Amino acid sequence: MSIQFRDLQRQYGYIKDAIDMRISHIITSAHFISGPEVKELEQTLADYVNMKHCISCANGTDAISIALMASGIGEHGGGSRKDAVFVPDFTFFSSGECPATIGATPVFVDVLKTTYNIDASSLQSAVEKVIREGQLIPKAVVAVDLFGQPFDMEGIKAICEKYGLLLLEDAAQGFGGSCTDVSGNRHMACSIGDIATTSFFPAKPLGCYGDGGAIFTNDDNIALLCRSIAVHGKDTQNLDDPNAKYNNIRLGMNSRLDTLQAGVLLGKFPIFRDEELDKVNHVAELYSELLKDVPGLTIPVVKDGMYSSWAQYTIQLPEGSDRKSIQSRLKEDKIPTNIYYVKPMHLQGAFRGTRSAEADCPVTEKLCETVLCLPIHPYLEDSEVEFVAGKLKAVL
Ligand SMILES: Cc1ncc(COP(=O)(O)O)c(C=O)c1O
């Protein structure tokens, strides 16, 4: 039995014709940068998540930076005043790296033990503390849809409204997920924040064959700014003017999604929407059924009204488990596992000695010691899930 953590080869077997056709068409047309597939993809994804604009870019990290820059977040007065951006302590590095690289200060906030997502009460305390200290200007929250499940939309939005904070949804792992509000309205991941970003890294729920990312917004002006920043700050308002191409009106970056990646994503999108999300949910449900009664083991919780795209299936091992040896024993049976994440953000060396290193995040610290991610993807067979769960139980 050969179990892959995320089996892109098996997936290719199902979608080969669609992908090959897209790729060969693009190579024949030689329209490698900003080809028509890029626009087609942006429209397809904007419609899917029900947002007015989708601006594609080179990766999910740039997407966060571009979204923050377009929203005017960073430092002001030549660096004398910095914005505070509140970020969960338990996430991939980019969520906190991006605010820091544009001159803002990431302030790390604890997460919920159940969903792994940002904890509204910890956020409230962190905002209050920043206000009391009076050094930073509270400006934005980067709320992550970690492991595929959207964050607590109503709880986090209420705090953002109370303190006038921009809500940036980092849906790098959440594309395809959704949440239903108290009135019964469904909100797709990438439509939950004021502005949202995602990643098309190959292992993500909707992944391309390289790097890729996108930003989503309903704000026409922010969309124009994002488009401009993603292409060297060019003048995106006067595109009919042939000279506008080399008219750079602000500083930006070179962050385009190339046409081949757009073609791959268009080839994958129908099966992602129509089959893969259901299949990966079936895999997660089967894992949870098989593991729910293992003493001391915590299975991931999907809150009522939430639909996860299951970027990861993350368990918490029983108290006192030797995680390293569990991983090695599983590896002997050719079962790959990973640890997302080993280190809280506030303890990352990049933030040592800065305000960002000050954080009160005991849940994150504990999770970093106990989590283990099992193989998950839409093409995992029931027998493979049973094999992994059985071996894990035996090892425990
Ligand atoms: C939560 C989160 N944010 C941002 C990113 C960055 O995406 P990319 O690797 O496309 O730059 C990732 C990628 O793993 C992620 O998991």
Ligand 1: does its nearest atom lie under 6 Å from the Cβ of 61? yes
Q: What are phi and psi of 51, to 5 degrees?
A: -125, 155
Q: Which atom number of ligand 1 is nearest to the Cα of residue 62?
A: 11
Structure tokens at 142: 């980067």
pLDDT (0 to 100) of residue 133: 98
Q: Where are the alpha helices (DSSP H) in the chain?
A: 8-29, 36-49, 60-70, 94-101, 120-133, 153-163, 220-230, 259-271, 277-291, 323-332, 362-370, 382-395
In this predicted structure, what is the pLDDT of residue 13?
97
Query: Is it true that the peptide bond before 341 is cis, omega within 30 degrees of 0?
Result: yes
Is 337's C-beta closer than 6 angstroms to any atom of ligand 1?
A: no
Ligand 1 centroid to Cα of residue 174, in Å, is 10
Q: If you measure from the C-alpha of residue 36 to the centroid of ligand 1, how many angstroms do you get, rounded to a whole number?
A: 26
Which pLDDT does position 239 carry in this prediction? 59
pLDDT at 240: 63
Given a cut of 70, whether residue 302 has pLDDT beyond it is yes
Residue with structure tokens 């073609």? Answer: 263
Report in angstroms the alpha-carbon separations of 330 from 279, 300, 381: 24, 20, 18
Sign of CA dihedral 351, 352, 354, 356: positive
149 lines ligand 1 (CB under 6 A): no
Is the overall model pTM greater than 0.95, yes or no?
Answer: yes
Question: What residues contact residue 264 under an 8 Å CB cut-off, 6+ apart?
Answer: 19, 22, 23, 208, 209
| Ligand 1 atom closest to residue 200's alpha carbon, by position in its atom list | 10
Position 372 confidence tier, pLDDT thresholds 50, 70, 90: very high
CA of 94 relative to ligand 1 center, distance in Å: 6
Identify the band that residue 1 occupies on the pLDDT scale cut at 50, 70 and 90: confident
Ligand 1 mean position to 91 CA, how many Å?
A: 9
Is the minimum distance from the CB of 94 to ligand 1 under 6 angstroms? yes
In our burial notation (b when 16+ CB lie closer than 10 A, e otherwise), range 225-262 reads: bbbbbbbbbbbbeeeeeeeeeeeeeeebbebbbbbbbb
- Per-residue pLDDT of 192-232, as tens digits, reads 999 999 999 999 999 999 999 999 999 999 999 999 999 99
**Among 56, 61, 111, which residue has the most ligand 1 atoms within 8 Å of its CB, making it the best to mutate?**
61
CB of 60 closer than 6 angstroms to any ligand 1 atom: yes
Q: Is pLDDT of 243 > 80?
A: no
Please report the atom of ligand 1 found closest to the CA of residue 95: 3
Distance 201 CA to ligand 1 centre (A): 8
* Rounded-to-integer distance, Cα 266 and Cα 40, Å: 8
Q: What residue ranges do the domains of the chain occupy? A: 8-267, 271-395
Structure token pair of residue 26 = 């693009």
Rounded to a whole number of angstroms, the CA Rg of the chain reads 21
Under CATH, which architecture does the 271-395 domain have? Alpha-Beta Complex (3.90)
CATH code given to domain 8-267:
3.40.640.10
Please choose, from the candidates 349, 354, 379, the residue with its C-alpha nearest in 3D space to the C-alpha of residue 107: 354
Q: State the distance from the centre of ligand 1 to the C-alpha of 271, rounded, in angstroms.
A: 23
pLDDT at 237: 78
Give the number of the atom of ligand 1 that is nearest the alpha carbon of residue 64.
4
127 alpha carbon – ligand 1 mean position (Å): 25
How many Cβ atoms sit within 10 Å of the Cβ of residue 328? Answer: 12
Q: Measured from the CB, is residue 201 less than 6 Å from ligand 1?
A: yes
Kind plus residue range of the DSSP H or E element containing 57: strand 53-57
**279 Cα to the center of ligand 1, angstroms:** 23
